[in-house]
Every structure is written in C-alpha cells, then in structure tokens.
Amino acid sequence: MKIIFIGSVQFSLIALQQVLASPGADVIGIITKRESSFNADFCSLEGIARKNNIPCLALERHSSEQMVNWISSLQPDVIYCFGWSNLLPNEILTIPPLGVIGYHPAALPQNRGRHPIIWALALGLKTTASTFFFMDEGADSGDILSQVSVQVEPSDDAATLYEKLARVACKQILQFTKELSIGTFKRTPQDHSQSNYWRKRGKKDGEIDWRMASTSIHNLVRALTKPYVGAHCMYKEKEVKIWKTELVDEIDGYENIEPGKVLNVMNGSILIKCGVGAIRVTDHEFAELPEEGCYL
C-alpha cells in the first residue's frame, strides 16, 4: 500500500517511525515544513526522509497548489496526515483511492478543534481518546477509522499525556495500516449532533488568576507545561513562567486570607493562597523569590 505521509510536529515523527515499521506500508513520499513558530512541538521530517531515502517536499509555508501537484505525481493509495495545522482542500482529499487519514487526540465527535491535549487537562477531564478518522473538508468531522479511550490521571501533565496518547496511537497505526492494506477496515460516521469545537487559545488563557480555585490553577499549569509554552503570572509588572504546581490540603487558619497572598517560601517553592484552597509552586522562573506576606 503506497502511502504519502504529511506532518510537522513531534507526534508526526513518532507516528511515521511506526508507519515505516508496519507490514504492508510503503511510504513513497513525505510532506513536512522546514520551520514553524506556530507549533511548540514543531518537528521537521526532512531528516527521517533523508535517512530512509524517501522523496520529501519540505515547505517554507503551506501551499495547497504545490502539494496537489506533488501528490498527484506520486499516485498514493492513501495519505496519512498526522500533525498538520492546515485543513487540506478537496483537491488533495480526492487524490488517493483510500482517502486521507487524519488524527485528533480527543473523543470525537466531542472536542473537535484546537489544542485538544491542553484543553483536556485545563478542563480537568478524566478521559480523552486517540482518534484516527477519514478527513473531509470540515474540521475533525470525518468518519472514524479507529478510536481508543485514554485515561487522564491526576498526575498527568501535557508531556505525560502527549506520550501516553502517542503510545496508544502507534498500536492503532499498526492495526489499521494492515486493515487498509487488505481492505478489512470499517468507517463509523460521527454523530454531529454530539459535537463541540474547542477554540484557539490565546496568551490570556495562560495567565494565572489567583482568585481561581487551586484545582483550576493546577490544571492550567499542567496543561501548558512543556512541551508547550507554560502558564504564567505577573510579579512586579513582569511575566513569570510557572511550570509545575502541587495541590495543598486544607490549611487551618487561612480561611480569611485573600487570594494571591504568599503564605510560605521554602527551598525555592512558594505556597500561595487561591480563591479556593492553596497551591505550592515548585517549578518556576521567578528571578527573585517573592517574600512571605506579599501579594502576586
């Protein structure tokens, strides 16, 4: 089965390595980007293409016309598009007989749209999913090819959930690549009445408001930690990155303390009163530690 692979993030590389190791898969071309400031986990696939002597179209910027001509010349049976921030036009979707397979780490039809790992953690979801689907002209709206539920543990953050989803996805790739190559795959239409779309997050979404509950702040921090941009707070009119926090059990005597007050500074960690509860900041970029009793 002749495959063209499209992608430009770290997951794309992980998935491509699995595709190359999958029986029945013949990767005849790779499309990637040379550079991108859009994705925090950007990864060009030029290196793995060279290593495996696979033709590669490395774009400076997204170009549907260039992609259409290049893909048409190679005549793939199927396209795998995992980790590409642009919607593909119908001119590309209709080239391969088996269609174009996309990936979305969420429980489609729910939670379509942007930043699925970040929003799942920020909202405190207990489950998400690894979903492969047949791409159409909508966003994450095509028939489902493979979907596996994934638990989100309280200890998970962006990095661990990213890795967990990637491990599950690799097993799915191995299975459905075989099914596509021998024609035993199934298409399950999505129930569009059950869908919702997550919006693009902005910088303001990553700013900590100490009036929030400690659980909400903790979820925001674990959602935006590496490989993403990090949550942040303001201190002395400067932006400070917060990479890791710990929830603190109820502390007696602090019920009447206002949110944002520093309760304790110890060994570089900072205990801060929140709107509900308190939180300890354990990994941060404070150039100067705030003093006990001051306000953030």
Q: Do residues 88 and 229 both lie within one domain?
A: no
Q: Do residues 71 and 114 both lie within one domain?
A: yes
Task: Tell me the residue range of the domain where 167 lies.
Answer: 2-198
Last residue of a domain, one of 198, 227, 249: 198
For 153-187, letters b (16+ CB in 10 Å) and e give: eeebbbeebbebbbebbbebbbbbbbebbeeebee
Q: Do residues 151 and 166 both lie within one domain?
A: yes
Residue 251 included in any domain? yes
pLDDT of residue 22: 96
Quick one: tokens of 7? 């992608």
More confident residue, 65 or 294: 294
Could you read off the pLDDT of 271-293 as tens digits, one per residue? 999 999 999 999 999 999 999 99
Q: Do residues 224 and 167 both lie within one domain?
A: no
Predicted TM-score (pTM) of this structure: 0.93
**pLDDT bracket for residue 38 (50, 70, 90):** low
Q: Do residues 116 and 207 both lie within one domain?
A: no
Percent of the chain with pLDDT over 90: 90
Burial label for 199, CB within 10 Å (0-12, 13-18, 19+), is exposed
Q: Do residues 147 and 33 both lie within one domain?
A: yes
**pLDDT bracket for residue 139 (50, 70, 90):** very high
- Report the alpha-carbon distance of residue 169 to residue 161 in Å, rounded: 12
pLDDT of residue 145: 99
Residue 294 included in any domain? no
In this structure, what CATH number is given to the domain that contains residue 113?
3.40.50.170
Scanning the structure block, which residue is given the tokens 């489609």?
Answer: 108
Q: Do residues 157 and 249 both lie within one domain?
A: no
Beta strand segments in 187-230, E: 197-198
Residue 235 included in any domain? yes
Q: Do residues 250 and 194 both lie within one domain?
A: no
Q: Do residues 188 and 211 both lie within one domain?
A: no
Last residue of a domain, one of 129, 164, 198: 198
**Based on the structure, what is the number of domains in the chain?**
2
* C-beta neighbour count of 196 within 10 angstroms: 9
Q: Do residues 17 and 160 both lie within one domain?
A: yes
For residue 61, pLDDT beyond 80: no
- Report the alpha-carbon distance of residue 79 to residue 100 in Å, rounded: 5
